[in-house]
Structure 1
């Protein structure tokens, strides 16, 4: 049976990986500066992760959410302790799209409204409401287009104010650092005014931290660079270091009700064990400190390369913008230099999303390879 052909594939077949390196079926070593879409947070096959997942699957991999699961409580407590999001509550699911879907559903349930405000170049997933709030008509099917979504420009505070005052908006959803869209950010003034307007208009402010969360931005969450209090925070990607897990953090002002949200696999024992190992490693190895140190070093070198016209993002969520499309450059980096990087909807942007364990020597390796590829 052939695979349904929806992914353009590079001719590389990884068979193993360790920390920041991936190895293919010919034994070639690749430097991974993309982390499988920012999923690999604590490095491939980290010993803590391998041990935790192995131990848990040997004991109990799965049972339903109809029984007690102390691992979910441990995970929630650890997220609260490391993120500083005091008194939020946690609902666990399986992916970033599912996290955003539940965030939007919760906002609609609680406000009694149905329209969503999202932003140009935003990406929130491929499920029904999440994809409708994504600024890409090519992935929105007619069944998704029934959702009521208004797409505005980032920093258009007057547009946000006008739409919110119509009284039918349940949620404003935003990436504080856009991922697929190309690492663009709103201003502090914009984000902070949106937060105020949402609270004045019975509208939930949803922070999509699926890609930017878990320390990647240099803080635990990217919204923490600003004076805002999201009603809902969506998380996934780096949360499980490769194991499928997602969730939403829900403000304590929002009351739960049986049956409001649900999932079969979300928060299963194996997922929680993986998630706990990630948080313990981030804490024990001081990986957020490493993010900030390596980011500063990376950007300082990037500024010396004349072909790089703009540097976007924060922490280890970095975009290098050129004055040409980077598709061929990415191929050179993969096939000639054996380095994985990422693209974006901005075709001139190279996206850098390495494991948070990356060291200066790996940054040096990348820039030497980049210089060769540019010449």
Structure 2
């Protein structure tokens, strides 16, 4: 049996990882500045994380949500102390796309509407509803065409004036920072005007913080830089540091009823242990502040380099836009310097998404390697 071909694969087989480094089966060590799509939030194989999951597995690893699982409430309480939404309700699931699907479902049940505003450059997942509001028509199957999506220009609040019959809009969905779209940061005024628009017309504001949340931007959620409050927040990726965990934070006005939402694996013992460990490490090691400080340092140093078109981001969610496609540059960083970086839907943008406890000396390793790789780019490609 062969595996279904999904991604183009690097010819690397990681077998061990610790902190910000990954080792392959040949013993080569790589600096991980991508974290497996921004998943590794507290570093690979963090001792507290490993201990927490191991201890839980020795007791009980799984039972369904037909019984009380005390770790779910423990997770909710720890999350409440850090995230800035202490009065919201938590629904635990397994992944980011699943979080998006359920957020849209709750919003539609609440409003009785079905139209959704999304934005150019957006990426919300590959499942049925999530992909319908992702700005990439090549990912949608015919069954996705039944969803009523209205795509507006990102970071252009004036485009809201083009919306006819806003009373028919169920939700506005927007990323705290666009990730796949090339690390595009929404302006504070854009998010603030989205909030006002939703308030005015009884629309649910969904903040997709799957990639940009959990301290990556220097605040727990990226939209908090704008001082706005979301109605529903979607979470995953860094939430479990590699263990599949996702969740929704729901405003108290969304009332639960049996059968509306459900999950078999969501919020299981091991998932909760992983998510609790992440929050404990984030708090104990002050990782939000570290992400802000290290991210600021990286961006300041990158701004000093010639040949870059733009450096964007907040904290340790950084996009480096070049005046040429970055595929060969990323390849050089990986093969010659053994550094993992990420791509984006914009072929000219390289993404940097390391663990939040990335050390300054590790950031310097990247800066040195990036400078060397950039010096080998033919001059005619750098405008």
Q: Please state which band the TM-score falls in when normalised by the shorter chain.
A: over 0.9
Question: 1:188 Cα shift?
Answer: 1.5
Asked if 2 retains the 8 angstrom alpha-carbon contact of 1:164 and 1:201, the reply is no
Do 1:163 and 1:169's aligned partners in 2 also have CA atoms closer than 8 Å?
Answer: no
C-alpha deviation, 1:57, in angstroms: 1.1
SS at match of 1:294: helix
Q: Specify the alignment match of 1:112 in structure 2.
A: 112
Q: Distance in 1 between matches of 2:9 and 2:152?
A: 33
Q: Give deviations 1:43-70, integer Å, cap 9, x for gaps.
A: 0000011001111111111111111011
1:58 aligned residue = 58
CA contact (8 A) 1:239 1:246 kept: yes
Residue 68 (structure 1) aligns with? 68
1:1-375, aligned counterparts within 5 Å? Answer: 1-163=1-163, 165-375=165-375
Q: What's the offset of the Cα at 1:138?
A: 1.2
Q: Secondary structure at the match of 1:167?
A: helix
TM-score (norm 2): 0.96
Aligned-residue CA RMSD (Å):
1.0
Q: Counterparts of 2:93 and 2:358 in 1: how far apart (Å)?
A: 28
How far apart are the structure 2 equivalents of 1:252 and 1:166? 24
Question: Quick check: 2:166–2:201 contact (8 Å CA) kept in 1?
Answer: no
How many Å separate the matches in 2 of 1:6 and 1:160?
36
What is aligned with 2:380?
none
Show structure 1 runs of 4+ deviating over 2 A. Answer: 155-166
* CA distance, structure 1, for counterparts of residue 203 and residue 247 of structure 2: 20
Runs of at least 5 residues in structure 1 that lack an aligned partner in the other structure: none
C-alpha displacement of 1:256: 1.1
User: TM-score, normalization: structure 1?
Assistant: 0.98
Residues 6-52 of structure 1 show CA distances to partners (whole Å, capped at 9, x for unaligned) of 21011111011000000000000000000000000000000011001
Between the aligned partners of 1:352 and 1:195, the Cα distance in structure 2 is: 29
| Equivalent position SS for 1:260 | coil
Q: Secondary structure at the match of 1:368?
A: helix
CA contact (8 A) 2:176 2:221 kept: no
Distance 2:163 2:310 in 1: 32
Q: Give 1:126 deviation, angstroms.
A: 1.0
The 2-side partners of 1:65 and 1:162 are apart by 44
SS in structure 2 opposite 1:211? coil
Q: Distance in 2 between matches of 1:71 and 1:102?
A: 22
1:161: how far off? 4.0
User: Contact conserved, 2:19 with 2:43, CA < 8 A, in 1?
Assistant: yes
Report if aligned partners of 1:161, 1:197 keep a CA contact under 8 Å in 2: no
